[in-house]
Chains A and B, each alone.
Chain A
Amino acid sequence: MRKKIGRRSTEDNIIDAIIYIIGALVLFLTIYPFYYILILSLNEGTDASLGGIYFFPRKFTLENYTFFFNDDKWIKAVIISVARTVIGTIFGTFITLIVSYGLSFENLKYRKFYMTVVFICMYFGGGIIPYYTLLKFLHLINSFWVYVIPGALNTFFVIVGISFFRGIHPSLRESAIIDGASEFQVFLRIICPISKPFVATMILFIGVGQWNSWYDSAFFIRDQDLRTMSYLLMEAMNKTNLSASAAQSGITISTTTSLSVQLAAMMVTVLPIIFIYPFLQKYFVSGIMIGSVKE
């Protein structure tokens, strides 16, 4: 049976052609919008508003970025965004890991009850108004900690974590316990290191969520100094959208316009993600699988 079975038929060639055309199309449709924003942000704002730029900047400049990084308002927002991402991710990942690790033990007393609570919380909630009232009561409204504390424990990730930790062989923990290690030491020194793909996935998901989040800044924060990048961008866009033609609007400050600075701000928000996610790819591809395929 060693006969070559992979002989190509006309059908094969047609299907191949269709597949590679679709692939090329997807590639273009995904990359080009980001590329377009990049070249516009590298072009003089006043010139860009004339239109007609598609593949390369016409009047290359870094002015939009210089303007962005000299604007107090944007700098503050960048700092807040970075701070919430770092602190929120560390805290959120830690809480999620530790809770799902605890719940992953089959013989944990009251486990059934705990799991019921988790599932109820996953599907039901009080809605935004009672939640807001609670945050107000806890003095989290208009505080930086509203970015970190209330959303730290994500029930979906807990479920994912439980099925992940179940896959780890119990003898690893048991032998360490016999050697006199505490549960917390086992978790930190043994479980976390061997769960690297899962921890990396968590960090990526929670981190991106933190970096992109805009609604908490919009609804739970009034202090201008605590606004995040995403929120400021949203605000800026709403202003530009109000005028009939987005490309034309903006007060002219030398050759930059408010729109061209906004485009630079968009790139500053997007670039960290573009640079980071391909390297974590191998982790999240396995991470997303754990969550969906098992139970």
Chain B
Amino acid sequence: MKNQKSFRMQLPLQVFALVGMIYLLIFNIIPMFGIVMAFKDYDISMGISGIFTSKWVGMKYFKEFFASPNFAQLVRNTVGISIYKLIFTFPIPILFAITINEMRNIICKKVVQTASYLPHFISWVIIGGIATQFLSSRGVINTFLVNTGLTKDPIGFLTDPNLFWGFAVVSDIWKEMGWWAIIFSAAIVGISPDLYEAAEIDGASRLQRIWHITLPGIRETTVVVLILALGNLFGGGLSGSNFDQSFLLGNTMNQSASEIIQSYTFRVGLSQGRYAYATAVGIVQSIISLILIFSSNTISKHISGLGIF
């Protein structure tokens, strides 16, 4: 009876799993072989078979990318925006979750919390539109600043390259803070109330209780979420918003700060049809990403003793 291990016995369950395997084979594994394009003199006119029959060109496209005037800027933007997001967007949901947890009025708590999730469900397309209404030269904020005399000229929030990184980080926080606070809130709720009571009897102040009970209580969750964020560092961390922001909030005026490797791949590859070159660029991003993940992991192990692998 306990012959559950045989493939035939498990056939229906195997079919469920195999549906997934076939899907992944077609849409994930096969494209992985496409990266040979990066080393070949491939053109879209050659069709699919051209990927294999076209001439090998070695590192030609990599050299071209490294030598291109865009290279330094693209790497700077990709790495810069990602690290900024890791530093600033990561801790804010934790602080917000603690704030929410300290609210004693249940209705207030519920209302603020529910509202804070909303932007998570809204696409960057819409947020770009809202940003235009608020931040353009004639938008609400600039009108306010100019009318009250706080600034003489409108601030180019959407056009000034110097402000793009800040704009990207702040809009990301606005959009995702409430959402990622859910995880931390749940972790806080899981902390035993006895600890708080005991601390209160021992005379610990509220801040001390937050510092000595709440924060250590969510340590594990924090590490797990950090792992998630690091795993998608160049995608934009937790929210994975780098590409959307670059594409939807970037424009010709702030391009020097907003264009990242991902959006460059799209622009050169799909708009200009330079498939082989764009594939090579994509590989460079994956390699930088791997290096960063491994080095941050090593640093984390040294400092906190906790690492991903």
Name A's B-contacting residues (CB within 8 A): 1, 5-6, 9, 11-12, 15-16, 19-20, 22-23, 26-27, 29-31, 33-34, 36-37, 40, 51, 54, 95, 98-103, 105, 107-111, 114, 117-118, 121, 123-134, 137, 150-153, 155, 158, 182-184, 187, 208, 211-215, 219, 230, 233-234, 237, 240-241, 244-248, 262-263, 266, 269-270, 273-274, 277-278, 281, 285, 288-289, 292-293
Report whether B130 and A237 are in contact in the complex, using a CB–CB cutoff of 8 Å: no
CB proximity of B236 to chain A, nearest CB, Å: 14
Report whether A270 and B122 are in contact in the complex, using a CB–CB cutoff of 8 Å: yes
A-B contacts, CB under 8 A, total: 272
A158 to B179, CA, bound (A): 20
Beyond A95-B23, A100-B20, A208-B121, 8 additional pairs, beta carbon < 8 A: A5-B200, A27-B115, A95-B20, A109-B5, A134-B31, A211-B123, A233-B126, A292-B228
Report whether B103 and A23 are in contact in the complex, using a CB–CB cutoff of 8 Å: yes
Is B201 among interface residues, defined by CB-CB distance under 8 A?
Answer: yes
The answer, among B30, B32, B186, for a CB contact under 8 Å with A124, is B32
The answer, among A107, A151, A183, A269, for a CB contact under 8 Å with B5, is A107
A108 with B269, Cβ < 8 A, contacts A27-B115, A245-B138, A273-B121 known:
no
Q: Give chain A residues whose Cβ lies under 8 Å from the Cβ of B31.
A: 125-127, 130-131, 133-134
Report whether B35 and A183 are in contact in the complex, using a CB–CB cutoff of 8 Å: no
Is B195 among interface residues, defined by CB-CB distance under 8 A?
Answer: no
A102 with B24, Cβ < 8 A, contacts A133-B48, A270-B126, A285-B186 known:
no
The 7 closest A-B pairs by CB, nearest first: A130-B34, A102-B16, A126-B31, A99-B20, A212-B123, A183-B12, A127-B282
The answer, among A153, A212, A262, for a CB contact under 8 Å with B20, is A153
The answer, among A9, A27, A211, A214, for a CB contact under 8 Å with B111, is A27
Report whether A234 and B248 are in contact in the complex, using a CB–CB cutoff of 8 Å: yes
Report whether A9 and B205 are in contact in the complex, using a CB–CB cutoff of 8 Å: yes
A109 with B7, Cβ < 8 A, contacts A103-B20, A233-B126, A278-B114 known:
yes
Report whether B32 and A125 are in contact in the complex, using a CB–CB cutoff of 8 Å: yes
CB proximity of B231 to chain A, nearest CB, Å: 7
Q: 8 Å CB contacts to A: which residues of B1-60?
A: 4-7, 10, 12-21, 23-24, 26-35, 37, 44, 48, 51
CB proximity of B299 to chain A, nearest CB, Å: 20
Is B306 among interface residues, defined by CB-CB distance under 8 A?
Answer: no
Report whether B17 and A99 are in contact in the complex, using a CB–CB cutoff of 8 Å: yes
A244 to B137, CA, bound (A): 8
Report whether B269 and A128 are in contact in the complex, using a CB–CB cutoff of 8 Å: yes
Q: Give chain A residues whose Cβ lies under 8 Å from the Cβ of B182.
A: 285, 288-289
Q: 8 Å CB contacts to A: which residues of B102-136?
A: 102-104, 108, 111-112, 114-119, 121-123, 125-126, 128-130, 132-134, 136
The answer, among B12, B102, B111, for a CB contact under 8 Å with A15, is B102
Report whether B5 and A99 are in contact in the complex, using a CB–CB cutoff of 8 Å: no
Report whether A155 and B24 are in contact in the complex, using a CB–CB cutoff of 8 Å: yes
Interface centre among B6, B111, B266 (most CB of A within 10 A): B266
Interface centre among A26, A34, A108 (most CB of B within 10 A): A26
A233 with B5, Cβ < 8 A, contacts A5-B200, A11-B207 known:
no
Q: Give chain B residues whose Cβ lies under 8 Å from the Cβ of A16.
A: 102, 104
Instruction: Name 20 A/B residue pairs within 8 A (Cβ), A-sorted.
Output: A1-B201, A20-B103, A26-B177, A30-B116, A33-B134, A103-B17, A109-B14, A121-B24, A126-B34, A126-B35, A127-B31, A131-B31, A133-B51, A137-B48, A153-B20, A183-B13, A230-B125, A263-B129, A292-B221, A293-B183
